[in-house]
Structure 1
Amino acid sequence: MDEKFLKMENELTTLKNQMQTLVAYIASRDDVPDHFAAMAVGLVHTSVNEVPDVGSGAPSPIGIRRSSGTEKTN
């Protein structure tokens, strides 16, 4: 594979992981309206053809426990 392609692929992977972390943070906040959290989640959902990276280390934005102890739902 081309070195330039590998660099772009690594940068994309890093960006996806950062976005997943940001979405998880937004979803865990009590002061963020649900529709904004849902919009953020929609930005990082993988397409149907992509295989999710289970080992990315980023928490899932779905089912995150809120600080009040209740589970956030859409």
Structure 2
Amino acid sequence: MTFNFEKSRSYLVCPKCHADLVQDGDSLVCTNPDVRLQYPILEDIPRLLVEEAKELTPDAWKAAMQRAGRTVS
């Protein structure tokens, strides 16, 4: 079974701030510009653990949001 983010997006949120997530390749990224956490998807399972998340740089976060079709300022 492959992880299907579209079917899960209504109930998956960032565990740190509860913002929406977007899929970026093999990870989920928090849409909150103050948090910018990237959560890995390992073996088709999202690992939504804050202590295992990677904080993206502002530029990397903006690029991920743009790839997901989100407008950022």
Give the TM interval when normalised to the shorter protein: under 0.3
Higher RCO structure, 1 or 2 (CA under 8 Å, sep 6+): 1
Greater C-alpha Rg = 1
Question: What's the TM-score once normalised by structure 2's chain length?
Answer: 0.24
Higher strand share: 2
